[in-house]
Amino acid sequence: MRRSDRTGVYLLLLPSLIPILALSVFPLLRGMYLGFTDARAGRNVEVNFTGFANYQELLKDELFWGSFRIGLLWAFGVTVLQFLLALGLALLLNQPLRFRGLARVLALVPWAMPPVVVGILWRLVYHPDAGLLNEALHRVGAEGLRSNWLGDFATALPAVIIVGVWAGMPQTTVVLLAGLQGVPKELHEAAATDGASAWQRFRNVTLPGIAPVIVAITSLDFIWNFNSFGLVYVLTQGGPGGKTMLPMLFAYEEAFRYGNYGYAAALGNVMVLIIVALLAIYLRRRLREAK
């Protein structure tokens, strides 16, 4: 590249780079740093570097442990169910079935909805008096199963996990379907002529064919789920009794209800650590299997 070209290229990149640096890279670094300080809300508050004090406090904080347990249950639960259901749906959509078009359209709608609307939608379904679920149970004669799904200690977390699955399944389905359509038909035909059963073909042709797609989408799903906020905020606000207090909700409360910026940022740092550690384990295992 000529020198004048190079200057031109940087000039073209500049309008994008400045905002990314100023409002993404820099805040992120500052946010990570805040996790090692006692920063609090309010103007002209002195900020002191406190090293690992926040983390020592976190270790003793029962609410923190509770929220991370719930966060992991939520993230794993949603990601695994999302994947299994999406794989099933993608396999079906890859077959010449009737109503396939309808299913395709329906599978896109939850994806198109703002998370807040998804939350409201499922509050209507779970509503103790006017809800679809309780009414359906009544109609099939299972009156005893009626419940205040989002308000009950035992059912709140499973109930929000189902909503998470519903909201995220479409995207996963679309990605897996694209993966399935990329598996060469000839491989299937060859395996079939060799007398492989449907299950064997799935196991030995389909799954290896879409393995990279599976790894990519489950990793992304896990990150998105672990960091998700709006959906559960609208559904339960973390209640009842903190039973659905995801880490993001916990951090939000710490930062913007109690004004503990430093502590909330420390929580954010721990979340990043956990995600990176889990992803590293997962990706290493997948890589080893691929070899």
Partner 1 sequence: MMKRFLQYVALMGYLIFLGFPLVWMLSTSLKPPPELVKLHPTLVPDAPTLMNYVQAFSEQQLDRAAFNSLKVALGSAVLTVIVALPASYALARFKTRVGTAALGWVLLSQLFPFVLLIIPIFLVLREVGLANTHAGLVLIYVVWALPFALWMLQGFVRNIPRELEEAAAVDGATRLQVLWRVVFPLLAPGVVATALFAFISAWNEFFFALVLIKNPDLATLPVTLARFVGIEGTARLGPLAAGSLLATIPSLLFFAFMQRRLSSGSLAGAVKG
37 bridge partner residues: 49
Count residues binding partner 1 (CB under 8 A). 105
Which residues within the stretch 50-79 sit at the binding site for partner 1 (CB under 8 A)? none
Q: Which of residues 30-49 bind partner 1 (CB under 8 A)?
A: 30-32, 34-35, 39
CB of 251 to partner 1, least distance (A): 4
Q: Considering the complex, state which of residue 141 and residue 291 has its C-beta at the smaller distance from partner 1.
A: 141
Q: In which residue are the tokens 């989408």 written? A: 217
Does position 229 interact with partner 1 (CB under 8 A)? The reply is yes
Question: What is the identity of the amino acid at 49?
Answer: F
Query: In angstroms, what is the minimal distance from the CB of 19 to partner 1?
Result: 5
Question: 32: which 2 tokens?
Answer: 């990570």
Whether the CB-CB separation of 53 and 38 falls below 8 Å is answered with yes
Establish if 191 lies at the interface with partner 1 (CB under 8 A).
Answer: no
CB of 178 to partner 1, least distance (A): 3
The two tokens of residue 221 are 């799903």
Alpha carbons within 13 A on the beta-carbon side of 267: 27
User: What binding mask, one character per residue, do residues 77-96 give for partner 1 by CB under 8 A, x or -?
Assistant: --------x--xx--x--x-
Residue (138 or 203) nearer to partner 1, CB: 138
SS3 state at 256: helix
Q: CA-to-CA distance for 96 and 139, rounded, in angstroms?
A: 34
Regarding 277 and contact with partner 1 (CB under 8 A), the answer is no
End-to-end CA distance of the chain: 39
Single out the residue of 3, 44, 46, 109 in contact with partner 1 (rule: CB under 8 A): 109
CB of 154 to partner 1, least distance (A): 21
Q: Which residues contact 95 (CB under 8 A, 6 or more apart)?
A: none
104 binds partner 1 (CB under 8 A): yes
- Binding residues for partner 1 restricted to 230-259, rule: CB under 8 A: 230-231, 233-234, 237, 247-248, 251-252, 255-256
**140 contacts partner 1 (rule: CB under 8 A):** no
CB 94 within 8 A of CB 180: yes
Helix (H, G, I), strand (E, B) or coil at 45: coil
